[in-house]
Amino acid sequence: MSILAIVGSFAFATSTFAAEAEHEGVPLKAAELVHIGKFAITNSMLVTWIVAAGIIAFAQMATRNIKQVPDGKQNFWEFLVEGLHDFLESIIGRDLTRKTFWFFATIFIFILFVNWFGLIPGVGTIGWGHYDAAANSFHVDRPLLRGGNADLNMTFAMAAVFFVLWVIWAVQAQGVGGVLLHLFGPKGDSKGIMKIAMIGIFFLVGLLEIVSILFRPISLSFRLFGNIYAGENMLEAMSNLVPSLSWLIPIPFYFMELLVGIVQALVFMLLTAVFTLLIAQHEPAHGEAHH
Per-residue pLDDT of the chain (291 residues; tens, 9 = 90+): 444 344 344 444 434 433 333 446 788 899 999 999 889 999 999 999 999 999 999 999 999 988 888 888 999 999 999 999 999 999 999 999 999 999 999 999 999 999 999 999 889 888 888 877 776 777 788 899 999 999 999 999 999 999 999 999 999 999 999 898 888 877 666 666 766 777 788 888 889 999 999 999 999 999 999 999 999 999 988 888 887 887 788 889 999 999 999 999 999 999 999 999 999 876 544 444 444
- According to the model, what pLDDT value does residue 24 have? 61
Cα(249)–Cα(230) distance, integer angstroms? 17
Cα(221)–Cα(224) distance, integer angstroms? 6
pLDDT tens, residue by residue, 119-177: 998 898 888 888 777 767 777 888 999 999 999 999 999 999 999 999 999 999 999 99
> Global pTM?
0.84
- According to the model, what pLDDT value does residue 190 have? 64
- According to the model, what pLDDT value does residue 138 have? 76
Q: Which class for 262: exposed (0-12), middle (13-18), buried (19 or more C-beta within 10 A)?
A: middle
Handedness of CA 88, 91, 97, 100 (dihedral sign): negative
- According to the model, what pLDDT value does residue 201 have? 83
- According to the model, what pLDDT value does residue 16 have? 40
- According to the model, what pLDDT value does residue 116 have? 96
Cα(105)–Cα(84) distance, integer angstroms? 7
Closest CA to 87 of 228, 283, 284, 262: 262
Residue 36, beta-bridge partner list: 39
Cα(115)–Cα(148) distance, integer angstroms? 7
Single-letter residue type at 231: G
Three-state DSSP class for 40? strand
Percent of the chain with pLDDT over 90: 58
Closest CA to 44 of 142, 160, 174: 142
Closest CA to 29 of 42, 16, 41, 39: 42
Cα(228)–Cα(156) distance, integer angstroms? 14
Give the containing element (helix H, strand E) for 165: helix 152-184
- According to the model, what pLDDT value does residue 17 have? 36
Find out whether 224 and 111 touch, Cβ atoms under 8 Å.
yes
The Cβ-side half-sphere exposure at 47, using a 13 Å CA radius, reads: 29
Torsion of CA 152, 154, 157, 161, to 10 degrees: -130
- According to the model, what pLDDT value does residue 210 have? 93
Handedness of CA 82, 88, 94, 99 (dihedral sign): negative
Cα(142)–Cα(214) distance, integer angstroms? 35
Single-letter residue type at 223: R
Strand blocks (E) in the chain: 32-36, 39-42, 127-132, 137-143
